[in-house]
A and B are shown apart, each in its own frame.
Chain A
Amino acid sequence: MIIVCPFCGPRDLSEFAYCGDADNLAARPDPAATDPAAWNAYVYDRTNPAGEHAEIWQHAGGCRKFLRVVRNTVTHEISGVTMLEPKA
């Protein structure tokens, strides 16, 4: 698997560290929120799709940027890589 880093170009999988489901990470409850159901759902539950999956990878062996990668979990085909923007 090769991931095309927007900064470094096409690089081997071994340079990247996987950080999990991007949509789930983006749906983190407000840190001040105290609803256990919302936090439990965020920490433990995943949609785990067979097909397109948005995920966070860090180019740990390169520019160290965090990337949002859209990848097909059935074919391993990557359809989009963007830099992860800080949450507004």
Chain B
Amino acid sequence: MAEYSALSIVRNALSGNEHWKPAWRKPEPKPAYDVIIVGGGGHGLSTAYYLASEFGIRNVAVVEKGWVGSGNIGRNTTIVRSNYLLPGNTPFYEHSMKLWENLSHELNYNVMFSQRGIINLFHTPAQEDDHARRGNSMILQGVDARFVRPPELKRRVPALNVSGSSRFPVLGGLEQPRAGTARHDAVAWGYARGADRRGVDIIENCEVTGFVREGDQVTGVETSRGRIHARKVAVAVAGATSRVMAMAGIGRLPIESHVLQAFVTESIKPCLDTVVTYGGGHLYISQSDKGSLVFGGDIDGYNSYAQRGNLPIVEDVMSEVLELFPAFAKLRLLRSWGGIMDMSMDGSPIIAKGPLPGLYLNAGWCYGGFKATPASGWCFAHTIAKDEPHQFNAPYTLDRFHRGTVIDEKGQGATPWKH
């Protein structure tokens, strides 16, 4: 029987809810493991889970500086989609979407994945052509996509201003119906529990302070809780890649760290049952199951390791919300926060073996890491277990920048603050 089920709820209720097992243990670190994963966020935990469940490697530790889910997995705006243009990206993100579709069942943990669709609005004829091209590219690669015109938009998203009175009138949208949202911290907890049940040690409050090296070979990590050896060390630390890799002697990477802000309003009754993005600027907005509107926009646009941003972006994002949804002017903002995004030079991630022997790197997610959580862990686990990438992450090498095989969705070039 599954550990969480209707029957287990009844049984535990009858015994005073005193016999639930903790979702994961709090083990002491062992002296050595087959694999150490640095970073107990979404990607690190899903890597551990798939190493144990798909690739049979169970002697694994996840070492986390803070607590599980304390980083970007708990800071994002929870959007899941696979509406990419380029062949280097689409198969990977579509694989992720397929893993999402079965995730609650697979983990026996409700991640509240809700396929409510995403609508990318366009506002000019040129933008419409661009969206048609992307939609066609998606369909050619087996991803769902369709155009939504203003009459249907008005019906689907009643609060949206489609009157033509706005600065950039809405001409329509490109929809991916299978896209949606998920409860972000449940994803971390579900993977943590699933990995733990398969023998993975999740070691929280354990900061990596250095790497153990034998010549070039990485053979373990120094941590605040002592030295831990491993045959393989995998780094999945989101916004701290440059800092962690500097400890391994890698001083320069194709990454800049930037701050991205997100916002949440007070809870209101259901009024927005899909995800909407604004094409006249940069805004993505959805309504959480609690009723709050959750939204964000561009990164602040300068290097930052501070988990807080500045006011110009706040003003910019709010003006975009009101451009699309004038009625939301009545709402009060409850919270805003920031997270650190490792912006890669082409806007695409890195999931690769190296750059040192015994070391594996998962990095550069820009601000699109949440939707990738399942496939990122799955592909990273494959790369670690087999010492070669799966075809889905084969394009995501670290040396692609020097080899001229960048995957630049926006055609932006090496200006990471503009991706």
Contacts and interface: CB of A to CB of B under 8 A. Distances in A.
Interface centre among B253, B304, B401 (most CB of A within 10 A): B304
Nearest to B417: A18
Contact of A73 (B254, B305, B310, B414): B305
A56 B125 CA distance: 36
A64 interface: no
Interface of A: 1, 12-14, 18, 20-21, 36-37, 40-41, 43-50, 53, 55, 71, 73-76
Interface in B238-257: 242-243, 251-257
Contact of A44 (B306, B311, B402): B402
Interface in B297-319: 301-306, 310-312, 315
A48 B310 contact: no
B414 A76 contact: no
Given A13-B310, A14-B312, A37-B402, A44 B414 contact: yes
B352 interface: no
B305 A45 contact: no
Contacts of B251: 47
Interface of A is mostly: mixed
A18 B171 CA distance: 32
B257 A40 contact: no
B402 A40 contact: yes
B261 to A, nearest CB: 13
Contacts of A36: 402
Interface pairs A-B: 9 shortest CB-CB:
A45-B252, A48-B242, A44-B401, A14-B312, A40-B402, A44-B254, A50-B305, A18-B302, A44-B345
| Residue among B242, B243, B402 with max Cβ neighbours from chain A (10 Å) | B402
A88 B402 CA distance: 29
B415 interface: yes
Interface in B271-296: none
A55 to B, nearest CB: 7
A13 B312 contact: yes
Interface residues of B, number: 25
Contacts of A50: 242-243, 257, 305
A43 B415 CA distance: 9
A52 to B, nearest CB: 11
Given A13-B311, A47-B252, A48-B257, 15 more contacts: A12-B312, A21-B256, A40-B401, A43-B401, A43-B414, A44-B414, A45-B254, A46-B255, A47-B251, A48-B253, A48-B256, A49-B242, A55-B302, A55-B303, A73-B305
B317 to A, nearest CB: 13
19 contacts: A13-B310, A14-B315, A18-B302, A20-B415, A36-B402, A40-B402, A43-B401, A43-B414, A44-B345, A44-B401, A44-B414, A45-B252, A45-B254, A45-B401, A46-B255, A46-B256, A48-B257, A50-B242, A73-B305
Nearest to B399: A40
Contacts of A18: 301-302, 417
Given A73-B304, A76-B304, A76-B306, A46 B254 contact: yes
A18 B303 CA distance: 9
Contacts of B243: 50
Contacts of B255: 46, 48
A21 B302 CA distance: 9
Contacts of B302: 18, 55, 71
A6 B321 CA distance: 36
Given A13-B312, A47-B242, A53 B303 contact: yes
A55 B417 CA distance: 13
A45 B141 CA distance: 32
Nearest to A24: B252
B32 to A, nearest CB: 30
Interface string B397-409: 0000110000000
A41 B305 contact: no
Contact of B252 (A13, A37, A41, A75): A41
Nearest to A45: B252
Nearest to B255: A48
A55 B401 CA distance: 22
A50 to B, nearest CB: 4
B305 A21 contact: no
A50 B306 CA distance: 9
